[in-house]
Amino acid sequence: MVARALGPVLRGRVRFAVPTRARHFALTIDDGPDPSTTPALLDVLARRGAHATFFVLGERAERHPDLVARLVGEGHELGNHTWRDEPSWRLEHQAFRDSLRRSQRTLEAHAPVRWFRPGSGWPTGEHLAIAEEEGLHAVLGSAVAVAGAGAGTAGTARWLDAVVRRGAVVVLHEGPGRGAVAGTVDALLARTGRRGLAAVTLSELAR
């Protein structure tokens, strides 16, 4: 069972980080967009001159197209986080494909999408194959905020800064009850900036 779960990862089908010589890391934000968190996040990113990949839930993108348009308009990237906030690994194959496709159609009305992140963390080999058939590449992360329901707390930026290196993929979460995320991102970007590291989108990191 463990070998089956780890096989796709060991064969490089899931990215956790991206080898690079540039002093860049990817900042990724899951579970938006949401009026309670996304505008403040975008304000922080604009002020810091940083960019991020937002792994968006299709149903929230459909509900808040103005926020998706603002994300894209300000130079950020969209990623497919399936249709709703649920553990992807529990879905039957066709239900997973339908969720992925429905989200993809909604997001591609705004911009091309090349990245996929499963809900609740871990993809099955079968789900990876479906995502690949749909032209999507799976990404998890190498530095993940857990405290504050994934939004971070007062000390999160400090310990993230300790593990973020060039090529890292940082994962945070936004949405209801996660109002701390903008402050976490602001503090993290201040710290990484002092070390000469810049936050960029996944596609910029991977090119």
Contacts 24+ apart (CB under 8 A), 119-125: 119/81, 119/82, 119/84, 119/85, 119/86, 119/87, 119/88, 120/86, 120/87, 120/88, 120/89, 122/5, 122/89, 123/8, 123/14, 123/88, 123/89, 124/5, 124/89, 125/4, 125/5, 125/7, 125/8
Q: Which residues have a catalytic role annotated?
A: 30, 173
